[in-house]
Structure 1
Amino acid sequence: MSQLNRLIEISRFYGDNPDFVIAGGGNTSYKDSETLWIKASGIPLAGIGEDGFVSLSRKGLAQIEDGSFSDDPVLREEEVKEQMKKAIIAPKGLRPSVETSLHNLIDYSYVIHTHPTLINALMCANDVEKEVKARFGEKAILVEYTDPGYILFKKVQERIASFKTEHGQVPRIIFLQNHGVFVGGNTLEEIKALYVEIDLKIREGKDLGLPSVETSPYNTQVTESIASYFASRSMLALSVDAELISHFTASSSRLQLISKPFSPDIIVYCKSNYLFLEPNVTAVDIRGLVEEFESKHGYYPKVIVQEGGGLTVVEESEKSLLTVKEVFLDLMKISYLSEQFGGPHFMTPGQISFIDNWEVEHYRRKVAKGKVQ
């Protein structure tokens, strides 16, 4: 079996499991001494084939590692993007993952980056630093949240260099706060064994069971009004309930625990603000509340939750609708499980603003919706 086929195999292995990635999240790579193959930006790992990968010159990528770029964040990211474009071997029409340079840094043949629910329950918790140190010791590094792109790359580069100086090798496990994990290995078996080890270490001594996430339709006059309003705008709405949803809608204090995004992927698919309805809201109030939300935030609410009610998601297509539902349910899972590690730790307003306005994430949204040819 060729190395690229092995990369496809491991990509599908994790991509087909929503406990590890949802929609276009995560990325995978294989490299030899000259070339790196990596998942294209926005392409789902689930079902990925050879045409979902981009090959790049490692010599070309090294120019990013050693290069000098503008201090202006917007201009800097554009310069880095153009340099990465120059390193592309094929195909020219796909954009490599923004984390390509990180994959090139990690000195193992295979690098598998995912956003697992269980791992992010720890990465998005208040006690993440203490817990990672206690559970993983010197076997892993934890990088505090840093805006994605070149700045994150440079920070990880520094941390890897320090680890290598101390331990004589590149770390196999790199945790990113409010983001996910990078796992490196020279065989697929090594990768899978490391993921199993991570899972076991996080579960040790913790009760990490969840209320049922099996959803059922949720219909009230309010949800019917939401569906009718958005149908008049040629959009779809889906309202559901589940034990986990009911846990959070039981009170306004619990709704606060799902009120903000934990990671960039949540912003990409669900945006960063959600419409929360008070228990006494009626069907006739919906139009005004949605229009008020749009006036304030500049976009329609993709997620609507009513205290004492269910979860409603809004999107332009059936595929996108289901993605928003799965991603927001994952946010709920992360919040619930994070209580075992000191409680939820949301992204800050500044971190959220960066993702909201980052061209790279706008591109990923377009790919997810099939709007990039």
Structure 2
Amino acid sequence: MKSKTPPRLIDLHTDWILQYAQETSVFDPALYPGVLGRLGQSEGYLQGTWVAILSCYRRVDDWASQADPWAALGELLARIEAEFPGRLLIGPEDLTRCLDDPEGLCWGLIGIEGFDALVRGPEDLDRLPRLFERGVRLFQPVYTATSVLAGSSAPGDDRGLTDLGRRFLQTLADLGAESGGPHPVFDLAHLNPKAASEALAWFEAEPERAARVIPVYSHGTLWHEAYDSPRAITLDNLTRLRALGGVVGISVSPPFFTTADQIKRAIETTASIPFLGRPGVEGIAIGTDFLGVDQTLPGLGTVGEVVTWLAASFDVDTATALIQGNAWALLTRVVNPPPRD
């Protein structure tokens, strides 16, 4: 018997901050003309979502217009901190308060979507510890072909992981070395297959690395015939990521999928690949990318509709794991509370 009230979603990726693109000085409204048409995607979001990974995002031309990209990043962080006061997952105590507040407003975990304009040389890596201290937990290194860290999914960009990209990874691993403290997340989204493969090889070379910095694919899709794009994670890379315990966030919108049945098949295919040696739905979550996508599918345009569809499409245990349970396990690893006596 299915639950009458599905759990609230834990979303591995949302461009929530873009809802302010037309009304604050943080953005140039002229650079984000399509956001107004997407605002319906945020309807009921804070009530229907328990925790969201909040992306710090700017368009590539926006980053290019910034005299000081790091200061521009600071403005995005300040805006998130103002919108989610007391509801950011940063340390173990926040995880406890979140557990005590299952029906309250949405909690957030801060991520950065692309370091293309931010990390241009080795000296910029010194800024990563300060971001981590401020509460940034997810680090997506690449968004466009302008990155010097790794090759992107942009057409024609066939570069792999650069030496600076390996130093980026090592910097994150050093941040996560302390036992009983939070760990950073390395997001493979927007890496091309070669760069993703070489990043996974970095983790595989020393298995303890995946315990210090956690690899994920926060939003997108696995490769399928209807979406033959470098933006999709390949079957080989997906298999290796799941073997490492990396969580996959399946998106629910075009361009990744054109039907709900495709989403269901993608989830089932992913579940057939062992996660830490165990086949099943473990390690699969949802990354809506709401406000970052131009279109949604009928019946999947808001978080409430996504949760309803998952509850109707899978048995209750599977649906609960996809909606919330698997992502909560990831967040627990990230925040990393000390073991209980």
TM-score calculated relative to the size of structure 1: 0.26
Question: Hey, which of these two has a bigger chunk of helix by percent?
Answer: 1
Q: Which has the higher contact order (CA 8 A, sep 6+)?
A: 2
